[in-house]
């Protein structure tokens, strides 16, 4: 359980693909285009699962990009590999490191697009859970239409999956479909889908507390008292057994073969590596980015006024992208246990509210987002891409209440901008800027139309979001031409991380406060 919140599940891959982590290493000679490291990661996993027996999947280490996702994802790669050999059998050769033939690129990209079919279906199911009380006359003003666009054309998911390269679409599809099933009171089906999801990608352990508490409170207990508190005599042991059977059955399918081969410890060691440091080479914009920045500032002040001994300070920089382990200079160094404690404390208020003051499926969804965002804020070695775990489900709340729409705009705009370092080459610059502008303009205009009589953002929030523009100009257009580029190459990532961390922390605080029970007045109701 320690790993659930203190270690970013999937870190062995999630730590790859950003600046400082070989994100744009060429896959062949200099004349060929370059791809994200995650592109090679998944090609290597295709080769491992296709060429080796199951007993060697989690031991193979020819490439540094070893298999470190749960077994269901390994079997997913195994299935894809049988289609991949039709395109180019050479991509399935383990020794062909950094292999990226045109046919390989075509297959990899097409496979992501094809698996997005599940995501599209899940969006359809989520839209069915929306009941517009005051839908606009025009189709484009209806909450269901706005929600479908916010999900299907999400900027972050688009660049992470289809430009950078990953398979998050169908995984988020599983999560959203399980959420929809809970809204539809199909609890066992929702639990089954989430159990499957956990064995595809274990980063979703972040939101497991919300699922566990909600299913126990709303499914295993069948009645409430007039004041909303639980009726203990209504507990259904049979329902608890049904949930337990689902968890055990899915876990047995996934881990059973490896338990039989006495390889479970090896699988676990691959899934939860603790040897990496507190932060990724590019700090995810969370609490620890602010903590690191404060330590950095205190160190500079201490050196300037001779309060610190320069000889006792490590010369390696947290922001160089080359260091995984780092000891703070002034502030106490952070351990995985400390991050676990902070994450649990951040989650507890929303979990208590979900148990003692249940607000139905909407309360569950809000708790799920708080758990995801708390894990992002305080987790160990969190990657910036994990912000999507909060952004996508937040879309469902954004069309319900103006307060949630405001939080969504803050979280989404800041979180999406924090993904910019994933695409850092010159040709990608206009693409990412244009795509984000299009999505952001639509998000603001559509939600403002939906809540015409409400002011979504105050002046301070507006100024903060507008500040992202000058920050991008400074980092991308001004800094490269300054003499600081060679001496302080980390400054653009430093500024991006710290600035975005401030906004995401603020959004997390507002969302956590919104979990507290109060009067709910909404334009659209999530049933």
Domain coordinates in residue numbering, the chain: 37-271, 287-515
Mean pLDDT score, 290-304:
88
pLDDT in tens, 217-233: 999 998 887 777 788 88
Q: Which of 84-88, 350-354, 421-425, 517-521 has the lowest mean pLDDT?
A: 517-521
> 279 - beta bridge partners?
382
Burial 141-156 (b: 16+ CB within 10 A, else e): bbbbbbbbbbbeebbb
Alpha helices per DSSP H over 261-359: 264-271, 287-304, 336-356
For residues 74-88, average pLDDT: 96
What pLDDT band is residue 148 in, cutting at 50, 70 and 90? very high
pLDDT-derived band of residue 333, with 50, 70 and 90 as boundaries? confident
Check residues 7 and 399 and name the one with the higher pLDDT: 399
Three-state helix/strand/coil letters over 215-267: HHHHHHECCECCCCCECHHHECHHHHHHHHHHHHHHHHHHHHHHHHCCCHHHH
Tell me the pTM. 0.89
Q: Is the pLDDT of residue 31 over 50?
A: no
Residues 420-425, mean pLDDT to the nearest whole number? 89
Least-confidence region, from 228-232, 254-258, 344-348: 228-232
Neighbours of 116 (CB within 10 A): 20
Binning pLDDT at 50, 70 and 90, where does residue 353 land? very high
User: pLDDT at position 527, please?
Assistant: 43
Range of 22-26, 222-226, 259-263, 324-328 with top mean pLDDT: 259-263
**What average pLDDT does range 263-275 have in this prediction?**
87
**Would you state the pLDDT for residue 232?**
87
Give residue 389's pLDDT band: very low, low, confident or very high (50, 70, 90): very high
Question: Which residue bears the tokens 């709303």?
Answer: 218
Residue 241: which residues within 8 A CB-CB, separation 6 or more? Answer: none
Mean pLDDT for 449-472 is 94
User: Which among 106, 487, 124, 86 has a CA at the least distance from the CA of 319?
Assistant: 487
């Amino acid at each position: 359980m320690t790993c659930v919140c203190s270690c970013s599940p999937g870190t062995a891959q999630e730590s790859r693909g950003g600046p400082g982590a070989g994100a744009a290493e060429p896959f062949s000679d200099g004349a060929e285009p370059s791809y994200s490291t995650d592109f090679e990661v998944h090609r290597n996993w295709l080769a491992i699962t296709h060429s080796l027996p199951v007993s060697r999947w989690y031991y193979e280490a020819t490439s540094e990009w070893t298999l470190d996702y749960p077994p269901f994802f390994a079997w997913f790669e195994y299935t894809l590999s049988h289609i991949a050999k039709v395109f180019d059998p050479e991509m399935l050769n383990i020794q062909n490191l950094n292999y990226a033939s045109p046919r390989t690129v075509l297959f990899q990209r097409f496979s992501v697009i094809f698996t997005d079919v599940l995501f599209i279906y899940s969006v359809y199911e989520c839209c069915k859970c929306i009941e517009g009380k005051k839908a606009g006359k025009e189709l484009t003003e209806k909450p269901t239409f706005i929600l479908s666009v916010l999900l299907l054309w999400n900027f972050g998911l688009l660049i992470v999956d289809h430009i950078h390269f990953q398979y998050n679409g169908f995984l988020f599809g599983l999560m959203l479909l399980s959420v929809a099933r809970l809204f539809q009171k199909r609890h066992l089906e929702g639990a089954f889908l989430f159990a499957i999801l956990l064995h595809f990608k274990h980063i979703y352990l972040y939101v497991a507390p919300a699922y566990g508490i909600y299913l126990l409170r709303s499914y295993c207990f069948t009645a409430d008292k007039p004041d909303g508190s639980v009726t203990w005599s209504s507990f259904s042991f049979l329902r608890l057994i049904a949930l337990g059977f689902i968890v055990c059955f899915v876990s047995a399918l996934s881990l059973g073969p490896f338990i039989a081969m006495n390889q479970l410890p090896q699988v676990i060691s691959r899934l939860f590596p603790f040897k990496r440091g507190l932060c990724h080479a590019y700090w995810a914009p969370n609490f620890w980015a602010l903590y690191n920045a404060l330590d950095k500032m205190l160190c500079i002040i201490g050196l300037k006024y001779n309060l610190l001994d320069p000889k006792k300070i490590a010369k390696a920089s947290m922001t160089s992208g080359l260091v995984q382990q780092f000891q703070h200079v002034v502030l106490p160094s952070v351990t995985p246990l400390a991050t676990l404690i902070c994450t649990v404390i951040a989650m507890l208020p929303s979990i208590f509210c979900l148990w003692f003051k249940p607000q139905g499926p909407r309360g569950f969804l809000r708790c799920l987002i708080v758990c995801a965002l708390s894990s992002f804020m305080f987790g160990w070695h969190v990657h910036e891409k994990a912000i999507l775990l909060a952004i996508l489900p937040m879309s469902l709340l954004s069309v319900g209440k103006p307060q949630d729409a405001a939080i969504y705009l803050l979280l989404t705009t800041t979180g999406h901008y924090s993904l910019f370092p994933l695409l850092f080459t010159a040709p990608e610059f206009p693409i990412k800027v244009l795509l984000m502008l299009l999505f952001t303009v639509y998000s603001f205009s559509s939600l403002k139309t939906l809540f015409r009589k409400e002011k979504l953002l105050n002046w301070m929030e507006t100024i903060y979001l507008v500040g992202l523009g000058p920050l991008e100009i400074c980092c991308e257009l001004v800094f490269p031409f300054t003499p600081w580029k060679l001496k302080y190459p980390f400054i653009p990532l430093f500024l991006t991380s710290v600035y975005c961390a401030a906004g995401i922390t603020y959004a997390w605080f507002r969302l956590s406060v919104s979990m507290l029970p109060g009067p709910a007045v909404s334009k659209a109701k999530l049933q």
